[in-house]
């Protein structure tokens, strides 16, 4: 047995210089340490050795196995270092450092906020997990009001829900402040809608509220025209169409002339020359009463627009899901 161990050790020494590539290393491992390898065969013969010699022979076999494994580990490490040295060219320029950029939704939201700040509006915020009173009832939605079906809601329980619009912030502002009030409310809202190219279950809104004495629809139209021309361009026109919202009366939808085709008609505006951007109206007296504001003394207007929709118009994006997929190739364009 001693002679066999010595011969295998010499074979290891003679085979070691040939471990220059991965195929040779694997062949070496199979030859000596494989299930039918030379070293494994010697271990199988250990049972034939007299008991008084097994301890010594066993130690020699373990040393032989460790020697073979050490040669394999050294050769493998050498191969890895060789690959690293081959692939590393220190004369090449370094990889460029990529700096983060604002998301297109953030860019559009910040620009809209700055425009309304310039027009004299303050910025207010409120909770996204809202009470039914603020999200519906105080806004003239009774429990059995059919207009509740206009918004598919994520209810947490009977009274708590994820807000479906930022209008609850208007109620909180009117509860905490006395007129005159001039404020905007940007933020995220949630609706239980099927995800498609045109709709998403999570999106952003910016709403505005002005409450003071002798406020008229003319004031509302003037502020919306000023915003549209500042955001879309000085030649922008607006068009108001009658509509219905439970919390405003009268109510209107607002269209702007398409800033891409300048009203001539294109794919984005569906060849109409107009783009719908927001809903608005005069604050319903019932909403003022719910906030302890005297509708005989004060009046006001409110408006709300989807930031995601306006961002899509601004950049010609035809699928809202692109704004939420975190695709670096898409986002780096902005």
What's CA 84's distance to the chain center, in Å? 37
How far is the C-alpha of 10 from the C-alpha of 64, rounded, in Å? 10
- For the domain with range 105-331, which CATH number is right: 3.30.930.10, 3.40.640.10, 3.30.70.1400, 3.30.70.270? 3.30.930.10
Residues 6 or more apart from 199 whose CB is under 8 A from it? Answer: 193, 320
Mark out the alpha helices in the chain (DSSP H runs).
Answer: 2-15, 22-33, 38-44, 51-87, 104-118, 132-135, 167-176, 217-232, 285-290, 307-315, 328-331
pLDDT score of 308 more than 80: yes
pLDDT score of 127 more than 70: yes
pLDDT per residue as tens digits for the range 80-100:
665 555 566 778 787 777 777
How far is the C-alpha of 81 from the C-alpha of 94, rounded, in Å? 21
pLDDT per residue as tens digits for the range 162-181:
999 999 999 999 999 999 99
Q: Where are the domains of the chain?
A: 2-87, 105-331
Phi, psi (5° rounding) for residue 217?
-65, -25
Q: 227-255 in b/e burial notation, b at 16+ Cβ within 10 A? A: bbbbbbeeebebebeeeebbbbeebbbbb
How far is the C-alpha of 5 from the C-alpha of 190, rounded, in Å? 76
pTM for the full predicted model = 0.68
Q: What pLDDT, on the 0 to 100 scale, is given for residue 188?
A: 95
Residues 34 and 40: beta-carbon distance below 8 Å:
yes
pLDDT per residue as tens digits for the range 18-74:
887 888 888 888 888 887 788 888 777 777 777 777 778 778 878 878 888 888 888
The token duo for 3 is 């002679």
The token duo for 214 is 């002798």
Q: What pLDDT, on the 0 to 100 scale, is given for residue 259?
A: 74
């Amino acid at each position: 047995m001693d002679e066999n161990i010595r011969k295998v050790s010499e074979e290891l020494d003679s085979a070691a210089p040939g471990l220059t590539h991965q195929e040779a290393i694997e062949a070496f491992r199979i030859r000596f340490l494989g299930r039918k390898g030379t070293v494994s065969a010697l271990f199988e013969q250990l049972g034939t050795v007299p008991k008084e010699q097994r301890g010594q022979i066993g130690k020699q076999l373990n040393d032989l196995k460790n020697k073979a494994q050490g040669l394999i580990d050294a050769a493998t490490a050498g191969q890895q270092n060789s690959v690293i040295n081959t692939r590393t060219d220190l004369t090449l320029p370094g990889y460029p450092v990529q700096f983060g950029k604002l998301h297109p939704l953030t860019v559009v939201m910040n620009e809209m906020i700055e425009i309304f700040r310039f027009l004299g509006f303050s910025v207010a915020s409120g909770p996204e997990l809202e009470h039914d009173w603020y999200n519906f009832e105080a806004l003239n939605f009774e429990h059995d009001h059919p207009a509740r079906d206009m918004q598919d809601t994520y209810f947490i329980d009977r009274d708590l829900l994820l807000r479906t619009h930022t209008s609850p912030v208007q109620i909180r502002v009117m509860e905490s402040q006395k007129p005159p009030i001039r404020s905007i409310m940007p933020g995220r809202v949630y609706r239980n809608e099927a995800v498609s190219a045109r709709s998403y279950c999570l999106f952003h809104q910016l709403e505005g509220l002005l409450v003071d004495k002798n406020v008229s629809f003319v004031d509302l139209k003037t502020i919306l025209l000023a915003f549209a021309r500042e955001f879309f361009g000085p030649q922008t026109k607006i068009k108001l169409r009658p509509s219905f919202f439970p919390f405003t009366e009268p109510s209107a939808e607002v269209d702007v002339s398409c800033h891409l085709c300048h009203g001539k008609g294109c794919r984005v505006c569906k060849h109409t020359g107009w783009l719908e951007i927001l809903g608005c109206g005069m604050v319903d007296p019932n909403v003022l009463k719910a906030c302890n504001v005297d509708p005989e003394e004060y009046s006001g207007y409110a408006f709300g627009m989807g930031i995601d929709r306006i961002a899509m118009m601004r950049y010609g994006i035809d699928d809202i899901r692109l704004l939420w997929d975190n695709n670096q190739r898409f986002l780096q364009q902005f």
